[in-house]
Chains A and B, each alone.
Chain A
Amino acid sequence: GAVVSQHPSWVICKSGTSVKIECRSLDFQATTMFWYRQFPKQSLMLMATSNEGSKATYEQGVEKDKFLINHASLTLSTLTVTSAHPEDSSFYICSASNPGHNYEQYFGPGTRLTVT
């Protein structure tokens, strides 16, 4: 099946710093990617839809100035958590939708962010 990678797989940063997470679709072109957040023992919540070549669409309650999304190519979307705080500590998962395969979503392995 299709593969989506994320980097890094885990990161620890100090409060106030910014962290960038990369999501790559390795074997298909993804005009649309999605970013989810998962808190411990909770399900995945959609944060934003990343659109190649245009601005991301954010879900209600997600601060667009805090979670910067860039989708500069058909295989790469990045999520930057700016001025991170401990409450931003979470598991961030991206997915890419493959229109050539019935819009099946392929999920990355996730990035564990811990803000100290």
Chain B
Amino acid sequence: EAQVTQNPRYLITVTGKKLTVTCSQNMNHEYMSWYRQDPGLGLRQIYYSMNVEVTDKGDVPEGYKVSRKEKRNFPLILESPSPNQTSLYFCASSPGGYREKLFFGSGTQLSVL
């Protein structure tokens, strides 16, 4: 089944403790992206990747890192999480191109205490 898989589904952590949220897609998509969803703000792009070893900042990249060493994986890294990073995170992928739809993962609810 074609899908975008995120793990974990829920995560509670404390300020400053490094964490990684994994994202994997099995559709051979070139484009991958991370969004955060906050009440009343909709979805905002954090980072994106056009292909392997190619990543760039979205609208709200501060406090996040990403890497794209393989086409299927695009982990999101929080080196030193803070409470303002408490949010619902979505990974998405697309074959590429502006007409193509995004395929979303099921989300990761992160709480930073």
Determine if chain A interacts with chain B. Answer: no
